[in-house]
Amino acid sequence: MYLRAVHAEAQIAVLQQLIRDNPLGILTTAIKSPLYPLIQSSHIPFVLDVPETTDGSLSNGVLRGHMAKQNPQAKALMEALAAQQEQGNASLELSDEVLVLFNGPHHHYVTPKFYTETKPATGKVVPTWNYAAAQAYGKIRVYCDSKSEETTTFLQKQIEELSNQSETSIMKYSSPWQVSDAPVSYVDLLKKNIIGIEITIDRLQGKFKMSQEMGQGDREGVIKGFEDLGTDVGKGIADMVKERGDLKDNK
């Protein structure tokens, strides 16, 4: 990701909130395999844990998710773990780094017509695209042995907390659906067909590309242009352009 200074977000807490608000991440791996593609990606909803640190600083956090065992990417992960364990390494953590990309709720094409200051003055404007995103890099742990208590415990915790997060934070239900509402035998069967993944975030980076590079007059034109679209996405972009522009001006 190109992190131009005017767009880059350096505050870890802000990027963590973007992840919490938009938990559907894109997991990308590059695992050498004789059977599966080198580079694979999957959309996976994540739970973000932020453990306390001994020095009181804010940790980057830990991402937890799960995938179907039939997913070719999951198969490549399991294959890599088996090969590692055959070499005498009992760790569940793979040596290769992985990437998880999270996108903000709104993105949109920006027409040069919105630049009401620069376009009529010089014409030196071109189209672009506004968006927000965070990228998390780290090592991945793979929980795939359905006979292991460690895997069973991880998956139970994962599906319960992910369901609760989605039911309360996304759906806003005061009486959320719970995993315990489904038959235990049914849930146990489903757990045998998924793997758990856990990524300790080593690097967390992100950006809010929301017209901060433009002058105030052009930003006002962008805000009005998106508001005039009369759509939820347009309003979302307009609000973010104003918020990010104000932050830039107040620095």
The answer to whether residue 207 scores a pLDDT higher than 90 is yes
CA distance 102 to 44: 10
pLDDT at 85: 95
DSSP labels, 28-75:
EEE---SSS-SEEEEEEE-EEE-PBPTTSPBP--EEEEEEETTSHHHH
CA distance 26 to 22: 11
DSSP state at residue 181:
G
Task: For the chain, give every domain's residue range.
Answer: 12-116+126-213
Evaluate whether 140 touches 200 at the Cβ level (below 8 Å): no
Give pLDDT tens digits for 17-68. Answer: 999 999 999 999 999 999 999 999 999 999 999 998 888 889 999 999 999 9
Coil, helix or strand for 148?
A: coil
Max Cα separation, the chain? 69
Q: What is the pTM of this model?
A: 0.95
From the CB of residue 27, how many other CB atoms can be counted at a distance below 10 Å? 24
According to DSSP, the β-strands at 93-103 and 128-143 are: antiparallel
- In percent, the amount of the chain with pLDDT more than 90 equals 96
- In percent, the amount of the chain with pLDDT more than 70 equals 100
- Helix 232-250 vs helix 216-228: angle between axes, to the nearest 10 degrees? 160
Coil, helix or strand for 141?
A: strand
Residue 197 pLDDT level (bands cut at 50, 70, 90): very high
- The CATH architecture assigned to 12-116+126-213 reads Roll (2.30)
The answer to whether residue 219 scores a pLDDT higher than 90 is yes
Give pLDDT tens digits for 131-141. Answer: 999 999 999 99
From the CB of residue 70, how many other CB atoms can be counted at a distance below 10 Å? 9
CA distance 171 to 208: 25
CA distance 63 to 50: 9
DSSP labels, 80-137:
HHHHHHHTT---SEEEEEEEEEEE-S--EEE-GGG-TTHHHHT-----EEEEEEEEEE
Give pLDDT tens digits for 150-184. Answer: 999 999 999 999 999 999 999 999 999 999 999 99
According to DSSP, the β-strands at 108-110 and 128-143 are: antiparallel
DSSP state at residue 197:
E
Angle of CA points 217, 231, 166, to nearest 5°: 115
* C-alpha pair distances (Å), 187 with each of 26, 145, 183: 25, 16, 6
